[in-house]
Amino acid sequence: MTNKKILKFEYFILYFTIYALIGWLLETAYAYHVFGHFVKRGFLYGPLCPIYGYGGIIMFTFLKQYKNNSFKLFFMCALVFSVFEYVAGFVLDAVFAERWWDYTGEFLNLNGRISIFFSFVWGIFGLVFINHIHPFIEKKTKQILKKIPKNIRKIAIFLLFIAILSDTILSCLRYLNILNFTNG
């Protein structure tokens, strides 16, 4: 692996983590607003919603090309993320027999996995993300990483990757009922 590929991988790990954490915070705040108390959100044990991490990477990797055309960007974000959300929901349901979201009561939903309202939300969010959020996060991430010695940065990102991978494996085992840390 070349240094450029390693550096790109490091940024992907960082951006995945940042956006998965932001997603978890948004989901938790939304659930608190709806239910009036803390509700654990997401697939993992830790405070990350991977769908947001992957979503962020998809957006800045494949959809930033539409940045100069807000209509196309809105449409592509709404379309791509509706498809992504549907596929992710289908796979989670098929593999783990669990639903992490259900839009059944929403207007114009498809099997409760996506709805026209949230497709619209993903379009708006994509506009804001590509034009404001990611450029800000990218700038701040690069500023911070420049201040950290290369070896320490590599070790920290490697440990972060191992932590996320471990959490993913343990969470998969839990939802497959192979591993259960509860006493009930």
Stronger pLDDT, 182 or 34, i.e. the higher one = 34
Question: Is the pLDDT score of 183 beyond 90?
Answer: no
CA distance 63 to 75: 10
Provide mean pLDDT across the span 13-19.
96
Q: What is the pLDDT of residues 66-111, one digit of tens each?
A: 999 999 999 999 999 999 999 999 999 999 998 989 999 999 999 9
* SS3 annotation, the chain: CCHHHHHHHHHHHHHHHHHHHHHHHHHHHHHHHHHCCCCCCCCCCCCCCHHHHHHHHHHHHHHHHHCCCHHHHHHHHHHHHHHHHHHHHHHHHHHHCCCCCCCCCCCCEECCCEEHHHHHHHHHHHHHHHHHHHHHHHHHHHHHHHCCCHHHHHHHHHHHHHHHHHHHHHHHHHHCCCCCCCCC
Provide mean pLDDT across the span 130-159.
94
pLDDT confidence tier of residue 117, bands split at 50, 70 and 90: very high
* pLDDT value at residue 3: 60
Q: Which long-range contacts (CB under 8 A, 24 or more apart) does 96-102 make?
A: 96/172, 96/175, 96/176, 98/175, 100/41, 100/42, 100/43
Considering the entire predicted model, what is its pTM? 0.88
Question: Is the pLDDT score of 168 beyond 70?
Answer: yes
Domain ranges of the chain: 3-171
Which of 5-9, 52-56, 96-100 comes out lowest in average pLDDT? 5-9
pLDDT confidence tier of residue 184, bands split at 50, 70 and 90: very low
* pLDDT value at residue 56: 95
Question: Is the pLDDT score of 20 beyond 50?
Answer: yes
Provide mean pLDDT across the span 144-162.
93
* pLDDT value at residue 7: 77
